[in-house]
C-alpha cells in the first residue's frame, strides 16, 4: 500500500509521521510528475485552504487529483482538506474539488484563539482525541454521507463512498485510529 500526501502547504509532515508509525509507504505530491507514481490513497492535509487551492492550480495538480478522487481513489481530508473536498462552502463563494456532497463553514470555531482539544465518539472507532485549529465544521450533508462524529451538535467527521473528511487534525495526536480507519477503506 502506498499513500500520496499533498505537500504544497500545511500539516503534511505530521501525516507522514503518522503513516510511518503505522509502517505504511507514502510519498509527497508537490508537482505533476509525482502523480505519475502509482498510489492507493490520497491525503489532503490541514493548512490554509485558500493557499492550497491556489497552489493546486498553479502547480497543475488540481485536475489530475480531482480525476483520481472521481475515479474512487480513497481520499482523507483533514481541516483544510475537508474544505477542499466540500461541494459547498456556506461562508465563501469558492469551491475547490467539490466531490464531497456537504456544506461546510470555514473557520467555524473562530480564529486561532478559538482552537481547542476534546475527546469525542467517532463511529466505527470509539473515543478519539480531536484537535481543532481554526477549524471548519459541516453544516449540512446530502443523502449517502455518513456522519461519523459531532462536537457540540456540529458535524466534524463524515464519510462518503471512499472519501473521509474530518474538521479536526488526527495527525496532531499520538492516536492512530482515524488513520487506521482510512487505511481500512483502501
Q: What is the pLDDT of residues 83-109, one digit of tens each?
A: 999 999 998 888 999 999 999 999 877
Q: Catalytic: which of 14, 26, 79, 96?
A: 79
Q: Catalytic: which of 15, 26, 96, 169?
A: 169
Query: Would you state the pLDDT for residue 115?
Result: 86
Nearest to 131 by CA among 174, 181, 185, 97: 174
Phi, psi (deg, nearest 5) at residue 97: -65, -40
Please state the domain count of the chain.
Answer: 1
Q: What is the C-alpha to C-alpha distance for residues 30 and 60, in angstroms, rounded to an integer?
A: 10
Q: Catalytic: which of 14, 15, 96, 171?
A: 171
Query: Would you state the pLDDT for residue 63?
Result: 97
Q: What are the Cα distances from residue 43, in Å, to 116, 134, 135, 142, 143?
A: 23, 19, 17, 22, 24
Query: Would you state the pLDDT for residue 169?
Result: 96
79 in active site: yes
Query: Would you state the pLDDT for residue 92?
Result: 84
**In sequence order, what are the residues at sequence separation of 6 or more whose Cβ sits closer than 8 angstroms to the Cβ of residue 10?**
45, 46, 47, 48, 52, 80
Query: Would you state the pLDDT for residue 34?
Result: 96
Which residues in the chain land under pLDDT 70? 110-114
- CATH of residue 113's domain is 3.40.50.880
Query: Would you state the pLDDT for residue 107?
Result: 80
- The domain containing residue 179 runs over which residues? 2-184
Q: What is the C-alpha to C-alpha distance for residues 100 and 88, in angstroms, rounded to an integer?
A: 9
169 in active site: yes
Query: Would you state the pLDDT for residue 108?
Result: 79
Q: What is the C-alpha to C-alpha distance for residues 64 and 174, in angstroms, rounded to an integer?
A: 32
pTM of the model: 0.96
Amino acid at each position: 500500500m502506498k499513500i500520496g500526501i499533498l505537500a504544497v502547504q500545511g500539516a503534511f509532515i505530521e501525516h507522514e509521521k503518522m503513516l510511518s508509525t503505522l509502517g505504511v509507504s507514502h510519498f509527497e505530491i508537490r508537482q505533476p510528475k509525482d502523480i505519475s507514481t502509482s498510489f492507493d490513497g490520497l491525503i489532503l492535509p490541514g493548512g490554509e485552504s485558500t493557499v492550497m487551492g491556489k497552489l493546486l492550480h498553479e502547480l497543475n495538480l488540481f485536475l489530475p487529483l480531482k480525476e483520481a478522487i472521481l475515479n474512487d481513489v480513497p481520499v482523507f481530508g483533514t481541516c483544510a482538506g475537508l474544505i477542499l473536498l466540500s461541494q459547498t462552502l456556506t461562508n465563501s463563494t469558492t469551491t475547490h474539488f467539490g466531490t464531497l456532497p456537504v456544506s461546510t463553514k470555514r473557520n467555524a470555531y473562530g480564529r486561532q484563539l478559538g482552537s481547542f482539544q476534546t475527546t469525542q465518539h467517532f463511529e466505527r472507532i470509539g473515543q478519539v482525541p480531536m484537535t481543532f485549529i481554526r477549524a471548519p465544521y459541516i453544516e449540512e450533508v446530502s443523502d449517502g454521507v455518513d456522519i461519523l462524529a459531532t462536537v457540540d451538535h456540529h458535524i466534524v467527521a463524515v464519510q462518503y463512498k471512499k472519501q473521509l473528511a474530518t474538521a479536526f487534525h488526527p495527525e496532531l495526536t499520538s492516536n492512530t485510529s482515524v488513520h487506521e480507519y482510512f487505511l481500512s477503506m483502501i
